[in-house]
Each structure stands twice: as structure tokens, then as C-alpha cells.
Structure 1
Amino acid sequence: MRFIDLFAGIGGFHLGMEQAGHECVGWIEWDKFARKSYQAIFETEGVWNASDIRTVRSTEIPRADCWCFGFPCQDISVAGRQKGFTAGKRSSLFFTVTGLIRDLEEKDRPSYLLIENVKNLLSINRGFDFLKLQIELAEIGYDVEWDVLDSAEVVPQHRERIFIVGHLRGRRTRKVFPIVKVNRKVNIRPDTTNTLTTRYGEAQGAGSYVAESEPSQVKQIGNLMDEKYFGGNPQPGRVYDPDGISPTLSTMQGGGREPKIITNPHGFNKGGTNKISPTVTSGGFHDNTFLNDGMRVRKLTPRECWRLQGFPDWAFDRAKNAGLSDSQLYKQAGNSVTVPVVRLIAERMALANEARR
């Protein structure tokens, strides 16, 4: 299939879709640093692109079978101001995308929409924002299905995100969810708020979720400092067991906010009796902080954060060699989608004529 990559970032959707055999025919991204990484990673010469979706006309966009986008989540995320899906200035860009689709004749509309966002989209404003999303997609001709997927299924990072697949009515697209890894159970959680549209004779998004990782797999083993040094945010001071899985990556912008792991040349007591005491002051956290008992705490490197999002080292090297700073590389990792999750979904997406091959 041919796809368009909207709000493209560094190309998490692009890489996952490409790994599943699909072809990118256009992309849009406004952040100049993300564009720099994207162009370094992918062969973009001659591929249609734009920097601001608000100035794009539908007639400019190449025809494609799928539009992929993770519209900005700052107004929806638990960590953000939670203005909501429709009131927030950035998250309302979702309606910019649907406006472009409205302007297309039905024959030119994409058969699939692949949408990603934070899990809080399901519940913000008591679920009414998610209902508005479904109504909007229904009005432009799409039935929907969705799942909350945890990146811990495919990479060592606990990162729950909602993925929504829109099916243009009449195109005989293939159902995608649920996705279950071998020997993993699906936890069925019926939800009366997600039965607006039906397809394939059943309610779409009827609450089937991939089994989530156990919280105990994210092993916090101590805290470097009092929360007051980070404005009440406890995350930057936490230290994690390198044998567990990573907490959800954020944009990690400054102040030692990168996830931290402990390295102990003498071994670490897995029984949990060793605790890290607050030994770092407001002077800040350095790449290597030594504690009184000889253990060393370090930040994850940008390369490690890109790996946690499923990017191969060659992609990181291309971005790094393009002149991106570590702070930008950290931010880009935190803003990206997890590549292997996109690939799992993309491998199940096919049009009727493709499915018979």
C-alpha cells in the first residue's frame, strides 16, 4: 500500500510501515529538527512533503491507501494541561486532517486511517472527546476499531498508547485488532463508550486489549533526590533496575530528566534491601553520579532511548551525524511512536485485492 506520513516526527510510522512492505509517498512535519532527522534517515528526495499541515490543500497531497498520524497529544496527556481534544490548540489539529479528507472526493480518500495517541484520549472529558473523534470519522465515511497497546510487548519499555484504525466504508479493508503475541492472553474489557460504529458484524473497539505488562516489570529501586528539585515531578529522580523494563519515555527536555539506571560492579541485592538515598542536591545530576556505597547511577544515552522505541542503530547514527544535539535526540525519541508496534499493525493491513494474493 501507499501511505502518507502526517505529523511525521522522525519517522516511526514511516519505518514501521516500510518494514511491513508499504511505500511512503508523502510526509508532513513542522519541527525543523525532526525534519532534519527524517531527511537523514529516509530517502526523501523527490517525495512530496510539507512543513505545516494548516497550509496544505487536499489537492496537493498524493493519493494514498493509508494516512498515518499521531496528532499532538499535549492537550490530552496526563502530563499536559488536559484542555481536551477539541479545545486544545494543538490536539485539535486532528480536525485539520479530517477537513482535508472532507475536501477529497470519495474515490480519492484513503482506505485506511492509522491514528496513534496517548491512552488518556479514551477518558479525557469523561470520554466525550473520544466520542467526538468517532463521530467525526463516521461523518467522513470511516468505521473504526481501536486497541490500547503496550510497547512492552515488543521492546523493553512500558508505553501504553491507543491505536485507532479507520476503515473507509465499501473498500473491503482487513480487520486489524486484536493483536496477540504467541502465548499471551487478551484481556477483554467491555466498554459501553466504544460501540458507536459496527463493522464485520461486531462492535469495533469492543474493549479488546493486548495483555498489559505487569507493573512490577518496571522496577524502581530508589530515588536520587527530593521531588521538590523538579517542581514536584518525581520522575526525574527515580532510578530503575536495568534488568526490568523502562518507564514511558518522555521528551526528556533538560534537567536530568532522562531515565536512570544503576550500575554496581559488586552486584545488586535483588531482594530489595539496598535503597538509594537522596545524595544529589539541587546542583544537578551528572552523567555519572557515584553514591556512598560505590554504586554508579547513569542516564540512558540517546542511542538507548532510540533503541527503546525500536529504531535500529543505523537510523540513530544518520540522525546523529546530521548534527542533531543530544537534547534533540532525547526529545525526538520521546515524541516518536514505537516502530515494532506500528509494524505489527501494518502487517495486518491490506486491501481486498492484496489479501487474495
Structure 2
Amino acid sequence: MNFIDMFAGIGGFRKGLESNGHQCVFSCELDNNAIKSYISLYHMNEEEIASMKKLNKSERDKTLENLRRQHIFDDITKFDGMSEKEISKIIPKYDVFCGGFPCQPFSRAGRRNGFKDKNKGNLFFSIANVVEKTRPRYVFLENVKGLLTSGEKEEVVKNGKKRVVEIEKGKTFKEILYELHELGYDVQWQMVSSGHYIAHNRERVYIVARKRGNKTIKRIFPLQENVRRINKVSFEKDTQVAYKDFINSIKSKTLYKFKIQENDMIDLYTNKSFNFNTKSPFGYWGIMVDGLCVTAKTKYKIAENEFKLIDVLEDYYKIGKRYDLSEEEVLKQRYAKKAKEWKSGNKMGNMAFPDKINKTCRTLTANASGREMMVIGYYFHEDGELHYINEIKEGLNQFNQEKELNELVSQCPIDSKVNNESNGLIIIENELGEEVHLKKSEIKFRKLTPREYWKLQGFDEEDFNRAKIVGVSDSQLKKQAGNAVTVDVIKAIGERL
């Protein structure tokens, strides 16, 4: 099928779907640095890439700008005021609308302003506008799992202090279902972790909407189950046909049934409008057919140690000490990874330091510095062999008292919290599961490299090298990977379309 790649980034949707034989016929992206990477991956042949090495920055940028004008549309909101005829002159006929629309308005790490976010929250309605005027067979979207719980905010006073709390949780997703229903689409969704396919525990909601019309529905989700087509008439009579294939995967007492009608959501257990409050009704899996909706929290577990961060790490002897942290940076990282409370009121617990290498890594973000920095530890055995640290079992613990960062950097020696019982040694577990006693000076820490970031999102060596050759900086390469859609998950869903 032909698809369009909206909010394209570096092309996670494109790479995943093209691996299944689907063809991209239109791309849209606003970020100039992401556009450079995208062009290098999909709109330059080997000779053109090789020629870029001989050009200076000005010449490279001019070449890339010419290619951008030929291949990339810049802003989806430009379609908002256009007619169907005007849009058809820009976007060719296609089958699948793809888009990982901006997640910040719905993320628990952000302000959670949802559709009220002035810059990015209303972009779903720009999607709806294009879908309404182009009528594709499928709409394929991706966003953070917080999309399922995002609601409204109100200011309350508690214990004499003002605090912003979130209410009507799930109302944002209800609006999305309503819009797609009104546009004539049946909808399926699932929260999927990339860790089922690659060494990266990235939990995202994937939404597949299909234009109504067929008597049967090909189910896409859950990806981890072999599910059969369902008949619409059978579904209307008994919604269990939508989940009987995997009923053992549904957590008890979490099955909800609704009817979307006239911008309202009727709870089919009470036959009344659903009262959105402090808990979202939308589970990790769901399906909506002709406005009739069933959703449930499903059990899912990543196979232990099936995919490991260590498997994507670069050879130390190729990268050297370039990404090593100084002692001051190590201290800052230990402090930054303490429990935090965001401005939105959302709390975050302690983060591991260093990151474990014998399991899937935690979610990559667009911000590769501060608290979100991925850090791994390593040391050299007495025979010169390099080993990675999977876990620090004793010593170099988190600080026990809250202090300002500048005080910590100036006053606390790096090994000030080493447990006395360890005789000044730090006890670690290495990648082999062995317990090892080391001196503080023997342990080194480094950031993940941009290349490792790209690999953890399913992009290969050639993809990364192409983006590097056209002049994209390391910081932008990491940011692009943090914003990307995981290729392997898109590929798995594309196989079911």
C-alpha cells in the first residue's frame, strides 16, 4: 500500500513499513535537522552521499535544501484552511496516513496540557483535517502511553498550598475516538513496549483506524497474540468475540464497554454517560466498531534478558574515552537521578546508576543530558580485558541528604558514601553475573553514543553513517533518536495491515 509519512522525524514509520513492501509517496517534517537525516536516508543514493564528504558546510546545506524542496513538505497545519481539491494537488492518492504526532502535551514527564497545549496539543485536529479531506483506508498513529490517561487540569488548595491536579483522566483519548468515529473509522489500539522486539523498553500507544465498510474486521492487536478476524454483527451481539482469543491475558475486573455517540461516551454497564474523574477507563488494549468500544488492561511481560543493552554497545577500542564522564559529571549524575517531582506535580522515583546492561534499556528521550542521560559503567580486569558493570551492589550509593548541586560538587568527594564494611572497595556485579570488588579509581562511566541511540531505535549502521556524513551533530542525532518511532514495532504492525 501507499502511505504518507507525517511528523516524519528520521523515518521510523517509513523504514518499518517499507521493509514490508509498502511505499512512501509523501513526507512532512518541520525540524530542519531531522529533515537533513531523513533526506540522507531516503532521498540520496550512494554516489550522492559520497559526494557530500567533499563539500564544505555551506555547500552541503545548499544541496540538502534543494532536496528538501523537492521531497519534504514542512508543516501539516498549512492544510488546515485548504479545500479537498487544494490538498489533493499536494498529497498524492494514498492508502495509509502515518504519524507519530508530538507527545509532549500528553507525557507524564511534561506539563500534561493535552489538547490545550497551544503549540503541539491541537495537532491531532490537523491530522483529522487531512484524513477527512483525503479519506485513506487506514490511519496509523503513535504516541506516549500517557495519551490514554491525559485529561483536564484544575488548581486546588491543599494544606494551604496551591497545586495543579489532573482530573477527567482519559477525556483526551475519548475525544480522539470520537473524532475518528465521526470521520467513519473503526479503531484498534495497544500499548506496546519496543522491548518485545529490541533492547529498548519504550512503551508507546499505537492506534490503527480503518475506514468502515467491510463486514469483517482484521484485528491488528494484541501483537503478541494470534488473533482472528471478527464479524461486525457478531461483535455487536457479543463483544467477547473481540477478545476471546486472548481472554487469559486480560487482568480481572478491568474490562470496560462503552458507546460513543454525539460526543458522549455511554457506559454500557450503567447505561449512563461515563463520569471521567481521577482514573482513565482506557486500558492498554481496545477496539471500537461503529462506536461500540471495548477496552481492557492486558498482561504483558518482556521475556527476561531476551534483548540486552550490552548487545548494541560499541567497541570501546573504536570510541576510546571520548564519551567518558569526569568525576564532577559522575557526581552530578548521581544527584540528578535522585527522586524528582516535575512542575506538573508528577513524581519520578530514583533512577538506576549506572544503567543496567543485562536487560533492555530504559526509554530514550529527546533530552540526552541531565537526569535522562544514559550512563554505563565499565572497568578493566588485571589482564587488560574490559568488563561492563551491570549493577553497583555496594558503594557509590545515592546521597541520603538533600543539598544543592553546587555544594555537592564542591564538598562531597566522589567516594564519600562508600560503605565502611566494604573496606573502601566498591562491590559490583559485572555483565557475567560475577561479584567483583573494585577501587573507586578502577571504575569508569560513559554516556551512550549517538550510534547506540540509533541502534536502540532499530536503525542500522548505514542509516547512522548517512546522517553523520551530511553534517548532523551528535546532540541532534541523539535528540532525533529520542523522538523517533521504533522501527521494529512499526514493522511488526505493518505485517498485519
Q: How would you bin the TM-score normalised by the shorter chain?
A: 0.7 to 0.9
Q: Distance in 2 between matches of 1:195 and 1:314?
A: 48
Q: Distance in 1 between matches of 2:337 and 2:457?
A: 30
Match of 1:62 among 84, 92, 96: 92
Q: Distance in 2 between matches of 1:100 and 1:313?
A: 35
Cα pair distance change 1:7/1:98, threshold 3 Å? same
Cα distance, 1:72 vs structure 2: 0.6
Which sits farther off after the overlay, 258-267 or 121-130?
A: 258-267
Q: Distance in 2 between matches of 1:270 and 1:101?
A: 47
* Corresponding residue number in structure 2 for 1:73: 103
**What amino acid sits opposite 2:379 in the alignment?**
N
* Corresponding residue number in structure 2 for 1:167: 210
Structure 1: state its 5+ residue gaps. 284-289, 350-357
* Corresponding residue number in structure 1 for 2:112: 82
**What amino acid sits opposite 1:264 in the alignment?**
Y
Matches within 5 A, 1:322-341: 322-341=470-489
Cα distance, 1:168 vs structure 2: 0.4
Cα pair distance change 1:19/1:296, threshold 3 Å? same
**What amino acid sits opposite 1:53 in the alignment?**
I
Match of 2:336 among 224, 227, 245: 227
Cα distance, 1:241 vs structure 2: 2.0
Q: Distance in 1 between matches of 2:389 and 2:372?
A: 25
* Corresponding residue number in structure 1 for 2:43: 43
Aligned Cα root-mean-square deviation (Å): 3.5
Match of 1:53 among 73, 76, 87: 76
* Corresponding residue number in structure 2 for 1:199: 289
Structure 2: state its 5+ residue gaps. 45-66, 152-168, 227-245, 261-286, 310-330, 343-348, 382-386, 400-404, 411-437
Cα pair distance change 1:329/1:87, threshold 3 Å? closer
**What amino acid sits opposite 1:273 in the alignment?**
K
Q: Distance in 1 between matches of 2:489 and 2:462?
A: 19
CA contact (8 A) 2:97 2:131 kept: no
Match of 2:450 among 284, 302, 314: 302
CA contact (8 A) 2:3 2:98 kept: yes
Q: Helix, strand or coil for the counterpart of 1:155?
A: coil
Larger radius of gyration: 2
Cα pair distance change 1:163/1:297, threshold 3 Å? same
Q: Distance in 1 between matches of 2:351 and 2:9?
A: 24
Matches within 5 A, 1:86-235: 86-104=116-134, 109-125=135-151, 126-170=169-213, 174-180=218-224, 187-189=249-251, 190-192=254-256, 196=260, 198-199=288-289, 206-207=295-296, 209=298, 211-213=300-302, 224-227=333-336
Equivalent residues, number? 334
Q: Distance in 2 between matches of 1:155 and 1:47?
A: 34
Match of 1:317 among 458, 465, 476: 465
* Corresponding residue number in structure 2 for 1:246: 361
Q: Distance in 2 between matches of 1:195 and 1:209?
A: 21
* Corresponding residue number in structure 1 for 2:312: none
Q: Distance in 2 between matches of 1:269 and 1:298?
A: 11
CA contact (8 A) 2:27 2:72 kept: yes
Q: Helix, strand or coil for the counterpart of 1:240?
A: coil
Cα pair distance change 1:294/1:213, threshold 3 Å? same
Relative to the length of structure 2, the TM-score reads 0.60
